[in-house]
Amino acid sequence: MYDRLANSGGTSGWLRGVIAPMFTPFLPDGTLDLEGAAALVDYLAGCGYVDGVFVRSGLGQMYTFTADEVLALARVAVNAANGRVPILVGAAGVWDRNDQHRPDPRKYVQESIDLAAKVVHMGAAAAVLPVPLALPPADMRQYYAAVAAGAKVPIVAYQPPGVPPEYRLSPIDVAHLAATFAIHGLKLSTDSEELFAPIANAVRDLPFSLIAGNEAYYLRALELGAVGVIGQGCNLYPEVLQAVRRLWLCGDREGAVRAQAAVWDALRATDGLDVAVLGKQIFAARGVKLQPYSRGGATPYSQEVVSRAAAAIDRCAAPYRAAEPSTRQ
């Protein structure tokens, strides 16, 4: 079980390494492909390079979910992982990101509490709570405190890329949440050292896991104090991201730089493409039995496009597939 793999030091034990923000499989009519989701979790948990799976992620179209769908996907993911890797579940209240129709704040907070408690009680390692763009900025900090107090389960905060400045967590906010409300970690999606470094410094001596949310910035984030990464490559080429951290931990910075360059090359393979659709098509080509559809009407790509992107990713990943899988350090 993953909980036996906890390490010592200033991190939250299991929350580290390569964490895949799972693409959500959908059927052609937009309903959840739960059989496909189970197959994808099983693949990721068993590949040897993934240290955790994050379902109802941004790449998984988290803003399109109903509360019942969150619970259904969480249950399937926990069962499919079967204790091999921790499952993280996006547990924020339901909101479609329409600024003209924001939810009632009390209802949104209570729904977040209920979802967080339920997904962890069914076996998830933690509930992931993005900064609450559905609420007024003044309520943001109280939101995390209220959910932590109400759900009483492990929570990971998430600051997506491009959030307005008034919704950004400050270093003081993050340190306070970690020390007072036992928030276990933060996925910080930025490549700005001005934003990343102060937060890294604020939590350096706390039992807290700072996770890079931008894989193009992963090596630099490690140098600043990150202990893991969540990005599209954690699904499609996790062995390369494992190599960045493994080589850096071993003191081989030159090798880590080469691995980071391979990450950049792999990212370029999907430039201009909807990776939430393309990624599922690549997994289907690898033998994972899932449907490649998306919510919102995106059309699956031609076989030629899929093959070209998959081949480019494979070229980047091939040198690292012979390396020892997940170090769990």
Residue 102 forms part of a structural domain:
yes
The reply to whether 305 falls in a domain is: no
Domain contains 307: no
Work out whether the CA dihedral 22, 87, 15, 328 comes out positive or negative: negative
SS3 158: strand
pLDDT digits (tens, 9 = 90+) for 118-144: 999 999 999 999 999 999 998 988 999
> Domain total for the chain?
1
Q: What is the arithmetic mean of pLDDT over 251-264?
A: 98
Tell me, yes or no, whether 128 lies in a domain.
yes
* 306 part of a folded domain: no
CB 234 within 8 A of CB 18: yes
Q: Does residue 326 form part of some domain?
A: no
Q: Which domain holds residue 20?
A: 2-239
The 10s digit of each residue's pLDDT in 163-217 is: 999 999 999 999 998 887 779 999 999 999 999 999 999 999 999 999 999 999 9
What gap in Å lies between CA 325 and CA 313, rounded to an integer? 18
Decide if 309 is inside a domain.
no
Please give the pLDDT value at position 201: 97
pLDDT above 60 for 8:
no
Give domain status of residue 207, yes or no: yes
Decide if pLDDT at 39 tops 50.
Answer: yes
Q: Specify the CATH number for the domain of residue 12.
A: 3.20.20.70
